[in-house]
Protein backbone atom coordinates (compact mmCIF):
# COMPACT_ATOMS: atom_id res chain seq x y z
CA UNK A 1 0.00 0.00 0.00
CA UNK A 2 2.81 2.38 0.90
CA UNK A 3 4.44 1.72 -2.49
CA UNK A 4 1.24 2.68 -4.30
CA UNK A 5 0.96 5.93 -2.37
CA UNK A 6 4.58 6.86 -3.14
CA UNK A 7 4.10 6.00 -6.81
CA UNK A 8 0.90 8.08 -6.97
CA UNK A 9 2.60 11.08 -5.37
CA UNK A 10 5.55 10.80 -7.77
CA UNK A 11 3.28 10.62 -10.81
CA UNK A 12 1.22 13.56 -9.58
CA UNK A 13 4.32 15.69 -9.02
CA UNK A 14 5.58 14.90 -12.52
CA UNK A 15 2.23 15.78 -14.04
CA UNK A 16 2.05 19.05 -12.11
CA UNK A 17 5.46 20.05 -13.39
CA UNK A 18 4.40 19.40 -16.99
CA UNK A 19 1.17 21.36 -16.53
CA UNK A 20 3.09 24.26 -15.01
CA UNK A 21 5.66 24.15 -17.83
CA UNK A 22 2.92 24.23 -20.46
CA UNK A 23 1.27 27.09 -18.59
CA UNK A 24 4.47 29.18 -18.71
CA UNK A 25 5.06 28.43 -22.40
CA UNK A 26 1.46 29.35 -23.25
CA UNK A 27 1.79 32.58 -21.27
CA UNK A 28 5.03 33.38 -23.10
CA UNK A 29 3.35 32.96 -26.50
CA UNK A 30 0.40 35.05 -25.34
CA UNK A 31 2.74 37.82 -24.12
CA UNK A 32 4.66 37.68 -27.43
CA UNK A 33 1.41 38.18 -29.34
CA UNK A 34 0.69 41.19 -27.13
CA UNK A 35 4.20 42.58 -27.72
CA UNK A 36 5.24 42.34 -24.06
CA UNK A 37 8.81 41.01 -24.33
CA UNK A 38 9.59 41.63 -20.67
CA UNK A 39 6.82 39.22 -19.68
CA UNK A 40 7.96 36.79 -22.38
CA UNK A 41 11.44 36.74 -20.85
CA UNK A 42 9.99 36.11 -17.40
CA UNK A 43 7.71 33.29 -18.57
CA UNK A 44 10.50 31.67 -20.62
CA UNK A 45 12.82 31.83 -17.64
CA UNK A 46 10.24 30.07 -15.49
CA UNK A 47 9.58 27.49 -18.23
CA UNK A 48 13.31 26.88 -18.59
CA UNK A 49 13.64 26.13 -14.89
CA UNK A 50 10.84 23.58 -15.16
CA UNK A 51 12.19 21.98 -18.35
CA UNK A 52 15.70 21.05 -17.28
CA UNK A 53 14.85 17.38 -17.56
CA UNK A 54 13.06 17.94 -20.87
CA UNK A 55 15.90 18.95 -23.18
CA UNK A 56 13.68 18.76 -26.26
CA UNK A 57 11.89 21.98 -25.24
CA UNK A 58 15.02 24.13 -25.15
CA UNK A 59 15.09 24.97 -28.90
CA UNK A 60 11.47 26.15 -28.78
CA UNK A 61 12.20 28.32 -25.74
CA UNK A 62 15.35 29.72 -27.35
CA UNK A 63 13.61 30.51 -30.65
CA UNK A 64 10.89 32.51 -28.92
CA UNK A 65 13.56 34.31 -26.90
CA UNK A 66 15.41 35.17 -30.13
CA UNK A 67 12.26 36.50 -31.74
CA UNK A 68 11.67 38.76 -28.75
CA UNK A 69 15.25 40.00 -28.91
CA UNK A 70 14.66 40.87 -32.55
CA UNK A 71 11.48 42.71 -31.66
CA UNK A 72 13.49 44.79 -29.16
CA UNK A 73 16.10 45.56 -31.89
CA UNK A 74 18.79 43.48 -30.15
CA UNK A 75 19.83 41.88 -33.42
CA UNK A 76 23.29 40.65 -32.35
CA UNK A 77 21.81 38.86 -29.33
CA UNK A 78 19.03 37.40 -31.47
CA UNK A 79 21.56 36.15 -34.04
CA UNK A 80 23.65 34.53 -31.32
CA UNK A 81 20.54 32.84 -29.93
CA UNK A 82 19.71 31.49 -33.39
CA UNK A 83 23.29 30.27 -33.85
CA UNK A 84 23.03 28.48 -30.49
CA UNK A 85 19.93 26.64 -31.69
CA UNK A 86 21.58 25.67 -34.98
CA UNK A 87 24.75 24.45 -33.25
CA UNK A 88 23.04 22.57 -30.42
CA UNK A 89 19.96 21.18 -32.21
CA UNK A 90 20.93 21.04 -35.92
CA UNK A 91 18.28 18.51 -36.96
CA UNK A 92 15.32 20.14 -35.25
CA UNK A 93 12.50 22.12 -36.79
CA UNK A 94 13.66 25.07 -34.70
CA UNK A 95 17.14 25.00 -36.28
CA UNK A 96 15.43 25.32 -39.67
CA UNK A 97 13.45 28.31 -38.38
CA UNK A 98 16.58 29.81 -36.80
CA UNK A 99 18.42 29.59 -40.14
CA UNK A 100 15.51 31.38 -41.81
CA UNK A 101 15.57 34.13 -39.16
CA UNK A 102 19.35 34.55 -39.64
CA UNK A 103 18.86 34.87 -43.41
CA UNK A 104 16.17 37.48 -42.84
CA UNK A 105 18.44 39.44 -40.50
CA UNK A 106 21.21 39.31 -43.13
CA UNK A 107 18.86 40.52 -45.87
CA UNK A 108 17.71 43.41 -43.69
CA UNK A 109 21.33 44.33 -42.96
CA UNK A 110 21.13 43.60 -39.23
CA UNK A 111 23.55 40.67 -39.23
CA UNK A 112 26.57 39.67 -41.25
CA UNK A 113 27.96 36.15 -40.95
CA UNK A 114 31.38 35.94 -39.40
CA UNK A 115 34.09 34.55 -41.68
CA UNK A 116 35.65 31.30 -40.56
CA UNK A 117 38.74 31.69 -38.38
CA UNK A 118 42.03 31.03 -40.13
CA UNK A 119 44.88 29.28 -38.42
CA UNK A 120 48.33 30.65 -39.03
CA UNK A 121 51.72 29.81 -37.51
CA UNK A 122 53.10 32.12 -34.85
CA UNK A 123 55.89 34.50 -35.78
CA UNK A 124 59.34 33.59 -34.50
- Gap between the Cα atoms of 51 and 58, Å rounded: 8
Rg (CA), the chain: 19
pLDDT band at 123 (very low <50, low <70, confident <90, very high): confident
For the stretch 54-110, pLDDT in tens is 788 899 999 999 999 999 999 999 999 999 999 999 999 999 999 999 999 999 888
The pTM of this model reads 0.73
Environment class of residue 72 by beta-carbon count within 10 Å: exposed (0-12), middle (13-18) or buried (19+)?
Answer: middle
Where do the domains of the chain lie?
15-108
| Distances 82 to 91, 112, 120 between C-alpha atoms, Å | 14, 13, 29
First to last CA, the chain: 76
Q: Inform me whether the pLDDT recorded for 13 exceeds 50.
A: no
Mean pLDDT for 45-52 is 82
Task: Tell me which architecture the domain covering 15-108 has in CATH.
Answer: Alpha Horseshoe (1.25)
Of 35, 33, 26, 102, the residue nearest 60 (C-alpha): 26
Amino acid sequence: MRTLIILAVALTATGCTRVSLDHHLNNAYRAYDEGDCARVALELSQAERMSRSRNYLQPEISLLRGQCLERENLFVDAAQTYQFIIARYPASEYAYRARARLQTLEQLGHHSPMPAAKASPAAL
